[in-house]
């Protein structure tokens, strides 16, 4: 199981070779692919901001239909609260959306596949994959 971050999904929608190769590797290993409701929200925000919102939203919808969307549960909310305060105490604050995405992946025990690991690498216990 691998949780896909927004940047990876965008790269897939843009058909970037590195992302397509990574997807091929994951699916050839039989990996179940997931994402979070927050990633879906970011994708739709971008789609509706584009020059062709209906067309882009349709692409997003099609791709999301192939993924399992992980639940944002009370347990993920607790993980978020704990991590947020821990990072603040250590002077390592990151954006709430990224922290919520990480909290959901952690709660479900899934690694997070992202191109930009800068913020996510500060989160204790989160397994990151890059491409």
Query: E strands within the chain?
Result: 2-4, 33-35, 68-69, 112-113, 128-129
Which residues, including other chains, have CB under 8 Å from residue 25's CB and lie 6 or more apart? Answer: none
Summarised one tens digit per residue, pLDDT across range 62-119 is 999 999 999 999 999 999 999 999 999 999 989 999 999 999 999 999 999 999 888 8
Summarised one tens digit per residue, pLDDT across range 19-50 is 999 999 999 988 899 999 999 999 999 999 99
- Residue ranges covered by each domain of the chain: 2-18+30-115
pTM above 0.85, yes or no: yes
**Considering only CA atoms, which of 41, 45, 71, 47 is closest in space to residue 59?**
47
Task: Name the CATH architecture for the domain at 2-18+30-115.
Answer: 3-Layer(aba) Sandwich (3.40)
Tokens of 69: 């969307």
Summarised one tens digit per residue, pLDDT across range 88-102 is 999 998 999 999 999
């Amino acid at each position: 199981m691998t949780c896909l971050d927004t940047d990876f999904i965008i790269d897939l929608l843009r058909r970037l070779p590195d992302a397509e190769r990574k997807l091929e590797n994951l699916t050839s290993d039989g990996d179940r692919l997931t994402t979070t409701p927050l990633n879906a929200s970011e994708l739709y925000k971008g789609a509706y901001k584009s020059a062709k919102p209906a067309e882009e939203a349709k692409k997003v919808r099609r791709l999301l239909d192939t993924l399992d969307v992980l639940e944002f549960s009370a347990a993920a909310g607790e993980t978020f609260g704990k991590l947020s305060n821990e990072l603040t105490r250590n002077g390592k604050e990151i954006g709430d959306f990224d922290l919520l995405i990480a909290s959901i992946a952690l709660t479900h025990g899934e690694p997070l596949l992202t191109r930009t690991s800068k913020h996510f690498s500060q989160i204790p216990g989160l397994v990151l994959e890059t491409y």
